[in-house]
Amino acid sequence: MTPIHRPIRREVPAAPELLSAAAVSESSVDIAWQDNSNNEIGFEIQRLEGDSTIWEDAGAVSGDQTAYTDQELSPGTSYKYRVLSFNAAGSSAPSNNKSATTLNGVELRAFGYKKRGYHKVFLTFFGADQTAVDIYRDDNLVESTNEEAFLDEIDKRGRASYRYKVCETADSTICSPEAVIVF
């Protein structure tokens, strides 16, 4: 009697569910999901940036992982994510979509006042990943500090305006929007 060979039936894994996405800095988003299958080899993470309609590959992890950190993203940008499980038979349907917006990098607040007619500008800033920041007035470096506030005592009176921004010392491309103080 000849043995009967039955084809091996391979099934595509079930789609992940309960996707979550949370921005953790100006350049990274943490993603997590629920694994609904026991036959996946891994998970593919896909993202949309801003108003794009084309899903891009953000990364992949092995079948025993249910979390991923998407890094090297742009500050203050909205990203939408989905996850697919895959094996030799193919890819699952995508999970639900979740959006997250990266933090804005360094935020700056500026308050100008006069003392005995002399200009003073009090700055507070937060959100820098690095401990040190550089403070610029009219594109000139005024101070480098590890503090979260700075008082700029300007030796001028009368009418004037000043443009301020604060940048991370370690990465001068991560800066606050400019704040303008007018006297």
The sign of the dihedral angle between the CA atoms of 140, 141, 143, 145 is positive
pLDDT value for 14: 94
- CATH 2.60.40.10 for the 17-101 domain, yes or no: yes
pLDDT value for 128: 60
Name the helix (H) or strand (E) containing 47: strand 42-49
Compute the average pLDDT of residues 18-32: 90
Query: How do the domains of the chain map onto residue ranges?
Result: 17-101, 107-182
Give the CATH fold of the 107-182 domain: Immunoglobulin-like (2.60.40)
pLDDT value for 180: 95
Do 17-101 and 107-182 agree at the fold level?
Answer: yes
Q: How many helices (H) and strands (E) does the chain have?
A: 0, 15
The sign of the dihedral angle between the CA atoms of 174, 178, 181, 182 is positive
pLDDT value for 108: 86
Q: Which residues pair with 65 in a beta bridge?
A: none
pLDDT value for 137: 96
Read off the pLDDT of residues 50-60 as tens digits, 9 standing for 90 and up: 889 999 999 99
Compute the average pLDDT of residues 96-107: 86
The span from the CA of 165 to the CA of 55, in Å, is: 35
